Chains A and B, each alone.
Chain A
Amino acid sequence: MSSVDKVKEKYDEWVREFLIPTLRKVPEWRKFVSSFGTEIKPLYTPLDLKGDYLEKLGFPGEYPFTRGIYPTMYRSRLWTFREYSGFGSPEDTNKRYKFLISQGQTGLSVAFDLPTQLGLDPDHELAYPEVGKVGVSIPEVVSMGILFDGIDIGKITTSFTINATAAEILSMYIAVAESRGISKAALDGTIQNDILKEFIARNLYIYPPLHSMRYAVDIIAYTAKNMPKWHPISISGYHFREAGATAVQEVAFTLADAIEYTNWVINRWKMNVDDFAPGLSFFFAATTNLFEEIAKFRAARRLYAKIMKERFGAKKLESMKMKFHVQTSGAALTAQQPEVNLIRTTIQALAAVLGGAQSLHVNAYDEALALPTERSVKLALRVQQVIAYESGVVDSIDPLGGSYYIEWLTDTIEEEVMKIIDYVDKLGGMTKAVEIGYPQRAIAESAYQYQKMVEEGKIAVIGVNMFREEEELHIELHKVDPVSRERSIRRIREVRENRDKEAWGRALDELRRAADKEDENIFPYILNAVKARATIGEISGTLREVWGEYKPPSIF
Chain B
Amino acid sequence: MPRPKVIIAKLGLDGHDRGAKVIARALAEAGFEVVYTGIRQTPSQVVETAIQEDAKLIGISILSGSHLELVGELMRIMKERGLNIPVLVGGIIPPEDRDALLKMGVAGVYGPGTPLREIIDIVKKLTGVS
- A and B associate: yes
Within 8 A of B (CB), among A99-156: 114-115, 118, 120, 126-130, 133-134
CB contact between B18 and one of A127, A133, A243, A369 (< 8 Å): that residue: A243
For A244, what are the chain B residues with a Cβ–Cβ distance below 8 Å?
Answer: 18, 22
Q: Are B21 and A114 in contact (CB under 8 A)?
A: no
**Inter-chain contact count A-B, CB under 8 Å?**
89
Question: Is A509 in contact with chain B by the CB < 8 A criterion?
Answer: no
Q: Are B15 and A203 in contact (CB under 8 A)?
A: yes
**Bound Cα distance from A202 to B14, whole angstroms:** 9
**Bound Cα distance from A464 to B94, whole angstroms:** 17
Stretch at the interface among B51-59, B75-83, B108-116: B108-116
By CB atoms of chain B within 10 A, which of A127, A368, A448 has the most? A448
For A120, what are the chain B residues with a Cβ–Cβ distance below 8 Å?
Answer: 13
Counting chain A residues whose Cβ lies within 8 A of the other chain, the interface size class is: 35 or more
**Per-position 1/0 for A192-206, Cβ under 8 A of B:** 000000100011100
B43 to nearest A CB, angstroms? Answer: 9
B117 to nearest A CB, angstroms? Answer: 7
Number of interface residues of B (CB under 8 A): 30
Stretch at the interface among A4-12, A18-26, A75-83, A331-339: A331-339
Q: Are A477 and B113 in contact (CB under 8 A)?
A: no
**Bound Cα distance from A183 to B92, whole angstroms:** 41
For A126, what are the chain B residues with a Cβ–Cβ distance below 8 Å?
Answer: 13, 40, 42
**Bound Cα distance from A34 to B94, whole angstroms:** 33
Nearest opposing residue in chain A for B14, CB measure: A114
Q: Are B64 and A134 in contact (CB under 8 A)?
A: yes
- By DSSP majority rule, is chain B's interface helix, strand, loop, or mixed? loop
Question: Is B107 in contact with chain A by the CB < 8 A criterion?
Answer: no
For B95, what are the chain A residues with a Cβ–Cβ distance below 8 Å?
Answer: 369, 473
Question: Is B85 in contact with chain A by the CB < 8 A criterion?
Answer: no
Question: Is A503 in contact with chain B by the CB < 8 A criterion?
Answer: no
Within 8 A of A (CB), among B1-26: 12-18, 21-22, 25-26
Q: Are A242 and B18 in contact (CB under 8 A)?
A: yes
CB contact between B117 and one of A331, A444, A455 (< 8 Å): that residue: A455
**Bound Cα distance from A473 to B99, whole angstroms:** 13
**Bound Cα distance from A538 to B12, whole angstroms:** 21
**Bound Cα distance from A202 to B38, whole angstroms:** 13
By CB atoms of chain A within 10 A, which of B14, B112, B113 has the most? B113
CB contact between A556 and one of B25, B112, B115 (< 8 Å): that residue: B25
**Per-position 1/0 for A56-82, Cβ under 8 A of B:** 000000000000000000000000000
Nearest opposing residue in chain B for A198, CB measure: B15
- Report the 4 A-B pairs with minimum CB-CB distance, sorted nearest first: A203-B15, A129-B69, A114-B13, A133-B65
Cβ contacts A to B, 14 pairs, < 8 Å: A115-B13, A129-B12, A129-B70, A130-B64, A198-B15, A203-B39, A204-B13, A242-B16, A244-B18, A331-B18, A334-B113, A368-B113, A444-B25, A463-B113
Given contacts A126-B13, A243-B18, 19 further A-B contacts (CB under 8 A): A114-B12, A126-B42, A128-B69, A129-B69, A130-B14, A130-B66, A133-B65, A202-B15, A203-B15, A203-B16, A242-B16, A243-B17, A244-B18, A335-B113, A447-B18, A448-B21, A451-B22, A463-B113, A556-B25
